[in-house]
Amino acid sequence: MEKTVIEKIFAAHSQDEVAPGRVIWLEIDVRSARDFAGANVVKRFREAYPRAKVADPKKTFFTFDCNAPANTIAYAQNQQICRLFAREQGIRVYDVNSGIGSHVLIEEGLAIPGATVVGTDSHMNILGAVGA
């Protein structure tokens, strides 16, 4: 039977056999966290992997678009947590006034046809419009 486009993309990003219902390991091309959830991602990463470096920081991004600029002290602190972690790990931050995070990934050529992308933005499914 012919494979779906998703199965083809997954097969190109995995050494596992791709079939409906199977759990597989994927190589992820782009990882993105926005200002709303980014601080929690940093916290969980540090809890799970103290002193660890992010694998391939060139594939990892923060986008600030929920509250940009921050409208509360709590949001400002969360954004600062992301900025400091990004600086420490060599991660790019699309900061205040960069645009909507999921759109930035398209505009910057990060989400491209056939790419695997994960993120904390509930609108990441828009990346399917470019085949990512």
Confidence of residue 123 (pLDDT cuts 50, 70, 90): confident
- Mind giving me the DSSP string for 84-124? HHHHHHT-EEE-TTS--HHHHHHHTT-S-TT--EEES-TTG
Helix, strand, or coil (residue 34): strand
pLDDT for position 1? 76
User: What is this structure's pTM?
Assistant: 0.86
Residue 11 has pLDDT above 80, yes or no: yes
- DSSP letter at 30 equals E
Confidence of residue 66 (pLDDT cuts 50, 70, 90): confident
Pick the CATH number of 5-130 from 3.30.499.10, 3.20.20.140, 1.10.10.10, 3.30.2270.10: 3.30.499.10
Residue 65 has pLDDT above 90, yes or no: no
Helix axis angle, 73-89 to 35-48, nearest 10°:
50
Q: Would you say 7 and 18 are in contact if contact means Cβ atoms under 8 Å apart?
A: yes
Q: Domain residue spans in the chain?
A: 5-130
